[in-house]
Amino acid sequence: MRLNAYLARAGVASRRGADELIKAGRVLVNGQPGQLNTFVAARDRVEVDGKPVAKQKLAHLLLFKPAGVVTTASDPQGRRTVVELVPGEPRVVPVGRLDADTTGALLLTNDGQLAHRLAHPRYEVEKVYEAELEREPTDEAMRKLAEGIELEDGRTAPAKACRLGPKLIELSIHEGRKHQVKLMCGAVGCPVTRLHRSRYAGLDLSGLEPGKWRALSVGEVEELRRLSGRSEG
């Protein structure tokens, strides 16, 4: 396991934060300064600022994110974060982001390799959203959403789009661009007034209320690994 992933798994910092610790010379592996390309084996001894660290038990949690909560581990503005809604040990971080006003399915984990793969567009992990719109979309607008929309950073991939009500649609995408659903709907003249992610990688929110979470089953974790092309434990 790469050193930054090991530190993230130990709950020391995010991978990016771990890279900064390593570059600052604060991480030792078997008594020697760790490098960004250092790999850690089970027998190796890792220390940060002179204190030994060890991998935490893997955790995979599904949270029903409520509105008004930010998808970060900490917030300089003092807003409530998603990590405050789940247990503090072992330390987990969100996979991807949902806007503060967006509700729905959010995965949190300390499995850095799995999280990285789930977020990578190569694996086309499905995300299903329910979007309330300012106005009823035309058939042409629905066709454009399904075929792909030209945005500032390029054309979106084909999506699945269906009507759930006069001003309510379901949109299934497998990309992870910032504000993608809102931008797509805005581009066809139907701004989003409320956005909810009903499913993520096949996981839905059955039995959960806003602000509540549950641990994934062994089978669900294995399915996520299969979807992300990572079959090992």
CA distance 57 to 50: 22
CA distance 164 to 17: 42
List Cβ<8 Å contacts ≥24 apart for 46-52.
46/3, 46/6, 46/7, 46/10, 48/7, 48/12, 48/21
Q: Is the Cβ–Cβ distance between 197 and 102 less than 8 Å? A: yes
Out of 99, 111, 139, 153, pick the active-site residue: 99
Where b means 16+ CB within 10 Å and e means fewer, 206-223 reads eeeeeeebeebeeebbee
99 is catalytic: yes
Task: Determine the residue type at 111.
Answer: D
CA distance 72 to 75: 7
Pull the structure tokens for residue 201: 């990688």
Q: What is the DSSP letter of 223?
A: H
How many CA atoms, within 13 angstroms, populate the side-chain half-sphere of residue 113?
13
Residues taking part in catalysis: 99
